[in-house]
Amino acid sequence: MHKKQVLIGAHMSISGGIENSITAGESIDCTCIQIFTHSNRQWQVKSIKKEEIQRFKEFQKKSNIKIVVVHASYLINIGSPNKETLDKSKATLLMELEHCEQLDIPYLIMHPGAATGSSEEDCLNQISEQLSEIIETTKNKKTIILLENTAGQGSNVGYKFEHLAQIINKNKHKKRLGVCFDTCHAFTAGYDFRTEEEYKIMWMDFDKTIGFENLKVIHMNDSKSNIGSSIDRHENIGEGQLGLEAFRLIMNDKNLLDIPKILETPKGDNWQKDDEKNLNTLIGLIKK
């Protein structure tokens, strides 16, 4: 199977203009890509110029890239007990949703949040409440917010399927919420899916807890750290502690055929070579 027949790609830079992410993705035969719409390490979010929006849409229309998803800023923490952090997080998230709407982006991926002093339970409840408010404020918009499972570093919540389920189930607007499953994060949070039996058990657990219909995107990352370590360090496909078999199972799972699979693997100066290597590894795992 060729790359163009599966929904597969990588995170692309928007350097020099947001439309350049499409050109970059096309250069390595991506059929889906992930982007930031602004600097992911800054609170300040600039508006996207009309001409940039138009160029982005034109570039995508002419490309083989069927789906573009956005990853929200890493600074956002709507579970924070600190009012200043919470206010900044909400404002940034609302601006990012506006960007997604302008660019016709179906999914905005975000890390749920971190307790930073409060209890996990209070943090999870606050995240659900804040998302209810944010979705209510943007009820005329279509973009779905995807909660990404975490590795469980520090006071981050979302490392258990139950956490994500709780946020979604307590929300008043479930249709505007979904899940992005990160392979590295799941593994270092303690989920083992390196054998066919373990793989089936994990997805049964996911379906029972969250609901398989809520899975919208998969981040394809091997892990430098071992299972249960709670350390979030991505590795090239097949070169980490997860190994190739887990990715072979994903790439050949008919239930996941229409789910965009996006790399967030390490990149050096020659990012094209690095991404192509990982994409080709994944494509090579598909049974003929």
**Which residues form the catalytic set?**
41, 71, 74, 111, 148, 182, 185, 219, 232, 234, 264
Could you tell me what percentage of the chain is helix, strand and coil, using 3-state DSSP and rounding each to the nearest 5?
A: 40, 15, 40
- 175 with 142: CB under 8 angstroms? no
Q: According to the 3-state scheme, what is the secondary structure of 85-101?
A: HHHHHHHHHHHHHHHHH
Cα-only R_g, the chain: 18
Q: What's at 132, amino acid-wise? A: S
Q: How far is CA 52 from CA 44, 223, 260, in A?
A: 18, 36, 25
Q: How far is CA 199 from CA 11, 165, 183, 216, 267, in A?
A: 25, 20, 11, 18, 28
